[in-house]
């Protein structure tokens, strides 16, 4: 085995949505940088998350709209979905993104892209097992960990003997599941559930808690559940999976539900019960880097670990697992390392979108969070059926909801479940970032007919004050 030692100004482990832009930014500033990646550049987002899933969601929406063509006075005929073609389109888009990103890295002066798996061997010292054989020993004053996460596999009796799917492998199916059972009612479970239902599968979602999307307000979660039920999805709440089995090519999931035990039988099982960090292979103990009880790297508000000069970025440090959070981690470190800044993660807004159809866009506080914080607030609510543009395009499912501080009139948060809900939410987020009171949106002159003008009506519908 060939072994070589190299010293850098910075070693970045993981070519994800933080690691890649940080590597090129540091290099432009004159740093000598090593970017280590064990499989694909781009991280979860490009390879297994946002890009492929939303590409497939788009295919599912086309199938959905085609089936509803007569609603618009259009006769489209029977709809058939070619899963192999859906998968091929997804793969082509992912590969295009990946190749473009890899080309940018390789063209960047001062960045060495090293394909292999890194592990700590000591204080700010790493060994990399190269994918094409041999190894490297790397050391640097700054080490930045951007290794991301992977699907969590729960401890469920019998699961190890069942050919279950996760959020990565489910996208490689070339044949449509006859009956897809989904364990988990979070973002992943809902997006894939609706997607495969629209492709033509029977779908059952099994959720352990009493609502889908457990972090949302109950009224919003119930509205999402109702939409999925309208689409033909069976939603089981307060349902605890007890055992999984495979019998004669059929997967059975034994579930304890409020009305007793049930045995669900399906052709495929998707496990969507969360994520876990990619820290087990890093040998963090050798580097002195602390982790929490779930294996996430412990980092402070400036993203620095307990070891000065070692930082954690993106999903590997826990918290909201979103691409835009990871990218903002890059901006924080870029400002602090190159500009002498003091940026932190404190109080940064973390918006997100659940890419069901209609979308659920969320920013700021929920009602529950506002009450827990002791805030006095008022609530604005409005169904999407009141929005002229939504009526015109026949996309009236869902609701708009916003919280307003009872004293200052500042917008505290919003949930927009509706057609292009993420885009509408972003408008509210911009108002929040600018410190605008709700009246600025209530009284604004928006173009008619657009979705944005619904904000006039939404913020005219404030209810009586609620409080913590």
User: Is residue 433 packed enough to be buried (19+ CB in 10 Å), middle (13-18) or exposed (0-12)?
Assistant: exposed
Query: Do 224 and 215 form a contact (C-beta atoms < 8 A)?
Result: no
Residue located via tokens 């993106």: 314
Q: What whole-number distance in Å separates Cα of residue 57 and Cα of residue 186?
A: 16
| Cα radius of gyration rounded to whole Å, the chain | 24
The residue annotated as part of the active site, out of 64, 152, 324, 448, is 448
Decide: 60 and 37 in contact? Cβ < 8 Å.
no
Quote the tokens at residue 31. 């740093």
Strand residue runs (E) in 132-221: 135-145, 149-151, 179-183, 202-206
CA distance 355 to 339: 36
CA-to-CA dists, residue 370 to 118, 320, 345, 364, 373, angstroms: 43, 19, 20, 9, 5
Contact between residue 270 and residue 179 where contact means Cβ atoms under 8 Å apart: no
- If phi > 0 it is left, if psi is from -120 to 50 it is alpha, else beta; for residue 373 that is alpha
Among 269, 214, 230, which residue's Cα sits nearest to residue 246?
A: 269
Helix or strand (DSSP H, E) at 254: strand 250-257
Q: Do residues 126 and 142 touch, judged by C-beta distance below 8 A?
A: no
d(CA 352, CA 359): 10
User: How many CB atoms are closer than 10 A to CB 91?
Assistant: 14
Distance from C-alpha of 57 to C-alpha of 51, rounded to nearest angstrom:
10
Residue 75 annotated to the active site? no
Q: Cβ distance 408 to 428 under 8 Å?
A: no
Spatial strand order in the sheet of 411-418: 352-354, 359-364, 411-418, 399-405, 377-383, 462-466
How far is 465 from 201, CA to CA, in rounded Å?
45
Distance (Å, rounded) from C-alpha 298 to C-alpha 318? 8
Please tell me the distance from the alpha carbon of residue 215 to that of residue 201, in angstroms, as a whole number. 28
Could you list the active site residues? 448
């Amino acid at each position: 085995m060939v072994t070589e030692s190299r010293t850098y100004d910075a070693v970045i482990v993981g070519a994800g949505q933080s690691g890649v832009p940080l590597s090129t930014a540091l290099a432009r500033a004159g740093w000598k940088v090593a970017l280590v990646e064990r499989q694909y550049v781009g991280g979860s987002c490009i390879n297994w998350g946002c890009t492929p899933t939303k590409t497939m969601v788009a295919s599912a929406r086309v199938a959905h709209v085609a089936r509803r063509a007569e609603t618009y006075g259009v006769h489209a005929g029977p709809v058939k979905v070619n899963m192999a073609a859906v998968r091929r389109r997804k793969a082509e888009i992912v590969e295009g993104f990946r190749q473009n990103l890899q080309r940018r890295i390789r063209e960047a002066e001062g960045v060495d892209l090293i394909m292999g798996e890194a592990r700590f061997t000591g204080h700010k010292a790493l060994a990399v097992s190269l994918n094409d054989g041999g190894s490297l020993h790397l050391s640097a004053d700054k080490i930045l960990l951007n290794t991301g996460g992977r699907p969590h596999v729960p401890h469920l009796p019998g699961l190890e003997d069942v050919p279950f799917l996760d959020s990565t492998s489910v996208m490689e199916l070339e044949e449509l599941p006859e009956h897809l059972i989904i364990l988990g009612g979070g973002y992943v479970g809902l997006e894939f559930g609706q997607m495969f239902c629209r492709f033509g599968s029977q779908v059952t979602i099994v959720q352990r808690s009493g609502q889908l999307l457990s972090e949302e307000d109950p009224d919003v979660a119930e509205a999402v559940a109702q939409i999925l039920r309208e689409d033909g999805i069976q939603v089981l709440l307060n349902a605890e999976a007890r055992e999984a089995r495979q019998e004669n090519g059929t997967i059975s999931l034994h579930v304890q539900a409020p009305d007793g035990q049930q045995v669900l039988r399906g052709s495929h099982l998707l496990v969507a019960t969360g994520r876990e960090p990619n820290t087990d292979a890093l040998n963090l103990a050798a580097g002195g880097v602390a982790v929490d009880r779930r294996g996430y790297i412990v980092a402070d508000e400036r993203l620095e670990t307990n070891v000065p000069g070692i930082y954690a970025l993106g999903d590997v440090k826990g918290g909201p697992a979103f691409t835009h959070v990871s990218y903002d981690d890059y901006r924080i470190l870029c400002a602090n390392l190159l500009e002498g800044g003091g940026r932190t993660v404190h109080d940064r807004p973390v918006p997100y979108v659940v890419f069901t159809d209609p979308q659920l866009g969320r920013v700021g506080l929920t009602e529950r969070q506002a009450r827990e914080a002791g805030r006095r607030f008022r609530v604005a609510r409005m169904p999407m059926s009141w929005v002229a543009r939504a009526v015109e395009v026949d996309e009236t499912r869902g609701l708009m909801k916003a919280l307003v501080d009872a004293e200052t009139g500042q917008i505290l948060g919003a949930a927009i479940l509706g057609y292009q809900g993420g885009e509408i939410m972003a408008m509210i987020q911009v108002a929040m970032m600018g410190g605008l009171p709700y009246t600025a949106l209530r009284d604004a002159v928006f173009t008619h007919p657009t979705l944005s003008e619904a904000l006039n009506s939404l913020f005219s519908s404030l209810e009586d004050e609620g409080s913590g």
